[in-house]
Amino acid sequence: MKIAVLGAGAWGTALAIAFARHHDVALWARNAAQAADMRSARKNARYLPDAVLPEALGIEADFAVAARGGELNVIATPLAGLRGALRLLHAVAPTTPVIWVCKGLESGSQRLPHQIVAEELGERFPCGALTGPSFAEEVAKGLPTAITLASNAPGFAEKTAQALHNARLRVYANHDVIGAEVGGAVKNVMAIAAGISDGMGFGLNARAALITRGLAEITRLGLALGGKRETFMGLAGMGDLILTCTGDLSRNRRVGLALAQGQALEQILKDLGHTAEGVSSAREVAALAQRLDIEMPITQAVKGVLHDGVPASAAVEQLLGRDPKLENS
């Protein structure tokens, strides 16, 4: 299969490396100088410095050259770049199927990625969301990983998952796009909360409680939006949540750890050097939950720390002071 991966951040680069083991792949980098460096050094020094780019992997700085004439376009930009990438694709490759790997809710509108895609390409366009528990560094190394391809288009998830699936990158088809995207968006918020908890030394019991109650919040919101309960028990829900809340490679967890140490958010993000989608998602998820009258106390607490100047210690005390309720409420 001829594939273009559009976005040369850590995740886009890792997927391009993984796909290039079995397919004809071009990786598009927005910055021409970065593309030239990657082409000559066979490394992405900024975003994935320890991974070697296969000789067979093409590196392109021209979006149209990368996207035209392929069988699948993979959008690997941050969520903020999704709409712009879709508009470019509509102009240069209007019929090529698309999958996206960004997670979160659009700033200001609280739209999930598939809603943005539907607005730009139409409701019936063959497309889907690739999501699930996956660190870029491990995928690039060829370590075993299982992810989900969710699509509402008849047959698209099964056909595309089968084409991308291999022994080291196992891709499972799913028809619940809403559930898969909600899981991917909110787990990043929970990872920041887990980082704060770990950074404040609250221990493993507290982390387990936070993950469990975080899953309850994800499920509550997902069901209200039309997702399926079983999705939140799978790779796109529980799987992604556990990995992001516990793995040391998690950027969002690292944001929480730094917040617990009293560091300023602006400096944390500067030092991180990568996008931490949970920072913007916290504000949008909290706004959506408030609009739908859905109780999401952990999300609201994280949003308060990130965007309202609430000290991490005060947010924790507020959560711990909540009245007890039925566990499944």
CB 260 within 8 A of CB 312: yes
Helix (H) or strand (E) holding 290: helix 277-292
Could you tell me the CA-to-CA distances from 234 to 1, 65, 219, 250 in Å, in that order?
28, 37, 12, 19
Close Cβ partners of 230 (under 8 Å, ≥ 6 residues apart) = 176
DSSP assigned state of 244: H
26: phi then psi, degrees, rounded to nearest 5 = -115, 135
Element (H, E) at 4: strand 2-6
* Under 8 Å between Cβ of 29 and 36: no
Name the residue type at position 205.
N
Return the active site residues.
187
Closest to 172 (Cα-Cα) out of 135, 125, 131, 136: 131
